[in-house]
Amino acid sequence: MVNPKERYVTYEAFNDFKHHDFQEVKDDIKDLRGEVKELRGDVTEMRVELTELRGDMKVLTQRVDGIVTSLNWYKYVFVLVVLAPFIERLVSRFI
């Protein structure tokens, strides 16, 4: 069984424990605040990087659109320059 003396705590011992416990909680809160500040900084950096990436994506989209437009134009040029004379020769043989 438990000895009655060990079971009860004196007021002074309780105050020491309470002070230590509260100090530990305060330290934990300070640590959490520091971690939150670090996270805020990281989130800000991520936002800046995402904004830069959005700009890069817009530029790449414009370049791809330009390439597609150029390919369409070259397709028509190819048809006019290469295939038109070939088709003209075929038609002239049958006419």
pLDDT of residue 8: 65
pLDDT of residue 29: 94
pLDDT at 23: 83
Residue 1 has pLDDT above 80, yes or no: no
CA angle, 10 as apex, 8 and 16 as ends, to 5°? Answer: 120
What's the confidence (pLDDT) of residue 38? 96
Would you list the domain boundaries of the chain? 9-94
Enumerate the H helices of 1-95 as residue ranges.
4-7, 11-78, 84-94
**CA distance to 4, 9, 22, 25, 56, per residue, from 16 (Å):** 21, 11, 10, 14, 60
pTM: 0.51
39-85 tens-digit pLDDT: 999 999 999 999 999 999 999 999 999 999 999 988 888 878 888 88
pLDDT of 21 higher than 70? yes
